[in-house]
Amino acid sequence: MLSELYIENLAVIQKAEIPFKENFNVFTGETGAGKSILINGINAVLGKRVGKDIVRSGCEKAVVTAMFRRLTPETEAKLRELGIDFENDELMITREIYADGGSTARINSHTAPVSAVKEIGETLIDIHGQHDNRILMYPEKHIEMIDSYAGLDSVLEDYRASFRELQNTARKIKQLTVSEQERQEKVEFHRQFIEDIGSLELENENEDTEIDNEYAIASNSKELSELLMRSRIAIAGDDDGCGISGRINDINSELSDHADILPELSQLADRLETAVIEIDDIGEELLKLYDRIDIDEERMEFLAERREKLISAKKRYACSLSELMARYDLYTSEAEDAEDCSKEIERLLEKKKELLVEVTKKAENLSKLRENSAVKLMESIASELKFLDMPDVRICFEHKKGKLTSNGMDLMEMMISVNPGEPPKPIAKIASGGELSRIMLAIKNVIADKEDIPTMIFDEIDTGISGRAAQKVGVKLRQVSRKRQIICVTHLSQIAVMADAHLLIEKTSDSGRTFADVLNIEGQQRVKEIARILGGEHITETTLKNAAEQLDSVENICGEILGRQ
């Protein structure tokens, strides 16, 4: 529960220390005194978004600190989950909002992200503001009330996990289908290329050059063979005579024989010997070439045919052999991807089929749980409304089933009849402001019984009600406060007198500046504030007496009203 709130430089509130009792606390004050500022301050320490305009003019920052005691197991579990230490069953949250637009948060004096504060805040306080009544005006919000009452969080999350998987699978199928179409178009466009170049079985990007060379040789093989053989015979000789090599050897021998007479001949003889070695080697190479160019007709035919195919392919696709090979690799890879894509789509389609069955079953189960819970919720709300001076109200939920969504297949709208004999109609069309306030209070009370949030704040729950209805709302809030802490901003004396603690927000001006103080009032001060609520600024002895009587009659009024339940 919220035990204390400290505020500094928050709009018109310069400094305030506000204690709270564990049961029923009310805030009263003139319109514009700053009651909404208090709600904004509480929202700040709950991690909700606040603007820099909330900082008091001329100040660097606003500070709001809240002390919570008697923590619930849910709050303790959330603190442990977030790795936040706590002791003595206490928790202190501080939020600083800077005039430049920034903000910081601390939990038990340690800096913490605002997101963590928000998560913890959801376990501490449930705030019902004036705008929350509008939730009843939107049918899509009604199903959330049923889910909250039935405690379907885990069931709904399990359904949503399967639904998200179904959505993701369908999205992938769509993406792959578009991708497959593009791939197939590419494959179809390149199919002739793949067939043409695939039939060539290219492995060597220089094959065309090598084929050209071999073909040129083969085409001139007869002439080359004769040339090589003549050259070989000229060097090495044949049966008809010696060749150049033999003749040089003879010369070398004669030169060597006369070297003793003319020494220079010895050197020349050595050079001739070297020349003979080189000439003989040339002769051997000529012979090898001769053997190599001895190409048969079958090989010649293959070379001609292969050469023509390569020339044709390069000409047809206007690129080199290496480019043909690169494009072939790319296009065949795309073709393989298209085939893999088709297989993946088939797999995902089968998975989607299975998921659709699974999601549908979970949606049907969710629908049954909601239908059963809606009946119990209707009965509980009707019981609350009977106490809140709406005995003839009839509530039901119109249940329709539609397509699968993240919330299941259900469309559930709260229908209401406030007068006997009238059929239930959509609540948004027939409920007045006062009826909406009481219906929302009833819903909050019923759902709160299913949750364990220790503090509930009602910001002007009294909108549109007065008289006996207002008195019953006050008694109901007092009754509920015996189970959980209630903090209420009100303009009605019937509600204010029911509180265990009365806090007055009072606005004053000094030296051109406006200040708002928060006072914990008791005794005659409280009588005077109740009288102001009853009669305005001109307080008379009669209104003071009436105020005192209302305060003195609280227990009797509660006993009488609760006794008639």
At 161, is the pLDDT very low, low, confident or very high (cuts 50, 70, 90)? very high
Collapsing DSSP to helix, strand or coil, 426 comes out as strand
387 vs 364: which has the higher pLDDT: 364
pLDDT tens string 328-363: 888 777 777 767 777 878 888 999 999 999 999 999
Mean pLDDT, rounded, for 108-131: 87
Name the nearest CA neighbour of 520 among 20, 172, 8: 20
Query: Which domains, ranges and CATH numbers included, belong to the chain?
Result: 1-124+453-522 (3.40.50.300), 206-319 (no CATH)
Nearest Cα to Cα of residue 377 among 412, 429, 423 = 412
Phi first, then psi: what are they for 508, rounded to 5°? -135, 165
Q: Work out the average pLDDT over 105-129.
A: 89
As a whole number, the mean pLDDT across the chain is 85
Q: pTM for this one?
A: 0.66
Nearest Cα neighbor of 120 from 162, 75, 160 is 75
What are the backbone dihedrals phi and psi of residue 250, each rounded to the nearest 5 degrees, phi first?
A: -60, -45
pLDDT band at 295 (very low <50, low <70, confident <90, very high): low
Read off the pLDDT of each residue in 388-411 and give the average, rounded to a whole number: 88
Calculate the CA 379 to chain-centre distance.
38
C-alpha dihedral sign at 539, 540, 543, 549: positive
Q: Residue 558's closest CA among 509, 492, 499, 514?
A: 499
d(CA 101, CA 110): 21
